[in-house]
Amino acid sequence: MQKGNLENFKTESVKQKYYDSLAEVEDFRVKYEIEVKRFVPGYKEEMLPIIISSLKTISRNGRTIDLGCGPGNLSAEIFKAIHPKEMIWIDENPAMVEVAKQTAKIEGVSPSIVNESIESFSAEGEFHAVHSSLTFHNIPHTAKELAVKKVFNILKSRGIFIWTDLIYFEDKEKQKKEVNYRKQYALDRGANPTFVESSFKKEAENDYPLTVEKTEEMLIKIGFVDIQRIWQSTTFLTVSAKKP
């Protein structure tokens, strides 16, 4: 198997080629875990326990969906913690799905893993919980609202949506301060400087984050209630919301 390295990005085209060939990358799930902890302050020690604690309140022995599962690292941790009756992992990248299948096997969990986009996914029946981490910011705002509405529609009454995502601040000085902090945080933990610059360039030019307020407004508009900010770190936010 050909070895891959997350730090070998030179341009966005190289980065895309890398993602398109993830199934051929040796130990990608391990490399991903290293990188995500460099780029998301508090990812493992703060965010994960809070997400698991919130999902445990409703989804144990229930039906759960993970939207944008990526390589399945976080999804597997959730699966082992909440013991769902059924859990579906969804990702639009075929290579990611292959890595997620490897992760499920290694971690000894048995989700259904589906290659489909968040915008087009469909699932039969109702679910106790939907979780999504660091995915929706890739979706343009109009499509994002439709996707969140789809989440609302597949949840059971009192079902919970746990949504972690990239956010931004309308205060430009605060936004700059938080982004600069994240850049230095990643570099201090060994991230490749070229990869850091390309990642933040992509984030600034090609992503579609919402503010905290716009996130909550969208959830309210769609019909969610009991909306709570359960975790925030720099430009990342986790909210929980329930279907009435």
- Coil, strand or helix: which one is 225? strand
CA 59 – CA 130 distance, rounded (Å): 9
Burial class of residue 19, CB neighbours in 10 A (0-12, 13-18, 19+):
exposed
Angle (deg, nearest 10), helices 28-39 and 172-188: 140
72 contact partners, CB below 8 Å, separation of at least 6? 29, 89, 99, 100, 101, 102, 103, 104, 107, 111, 113
What's the whole-number mean pLDDT along residues 221-226?
A: 98
218 contact partners, CB below 8 Å, separation of at least 6? 144, 145, 148, 210
pLDDT digits (tens, 9 = 90+) for 89-138: 999 999 899 999 999 999 999 999 999 998 888 888 999 999 999 999 99
pLDDT digits (tens, 9 = 90+) for 38-71: 999 999 999 999 999 999 877 667 999 999 999 9
Residue 17: pLDDT band (50, 70, 90) is: low
Set out the domains of the chain in order of their start, with CATH numbers: 12-242 (3.40.50.150)
Residue 143: pLDDT band (50, 70, 90) is: very high
How many Cα atoms within 13 Å fall on the side-chain side of residue 150?
A: 19
pTM to 2 decimals? Answer: 0.88
Query: CA end-to-end span of the chain, whole Å?
Result: 49
The reported pLDDT for the residue numbered 203 is: 93
Mean pLDDT of the chain: 89
What's the whole-number mean pLDDT along residues 2-22?
A: 44
DSSP code of 23?
G
